Amino acid sequence: MRLYAKGDRVTQPNYGPGTVTDANVRHTVIDFDQHGLRTFVTSLVVLEPTDEPAPPPRSKAAKRGKRATPKSSGQPLAGARD
């Protein structure tokens, strides 16, 4: 069992490349490039070190799923005239 350090780049067969965000003897937490945060049992997880660079950080709006334009409900505004 290898204990990876915070910030190490690793790859996992099901989720691909990611960055270790926390690790101890019980759990390893990885922020995968395409799948987000996942927590594994350290003694069971299969990881390989990788030299693949991390993608650029996403903007805060993208993380929250905000849209550029407000969503319309299709209902007229209260007090709106036809």
pLDDT in tens, 10-40: 999 999 999 999 999 999 999 999 999 999 9
18 vs 66: which has the higher pLDDT: 18
Each domain of the chain, given as residue ranges in start order, spans: 10-53
Kindly report, residue by residue over 37-50, the tens digit of the pLDDT: 999 999 999 999 99
DSSP state for residue 69 in the 8-state scheme: S
* Closest of 55, 61, 34, 82 to residue 12, by C-alpha: 34
pLDDT band at 77 (very low <50, low <70, confident <90, very high): low
Contact indicator for 38, 27 with CB cutoff of 8 Å: no
pLDDT recorded at residue 2: 85
Report residue 80 as tokens.
């709106």
65: phi > 0 → left, psi -120 to 50 → alpha, else beta; which?
left
CB contact set of 36 (below 8 Å; sequence gap of 6+): none
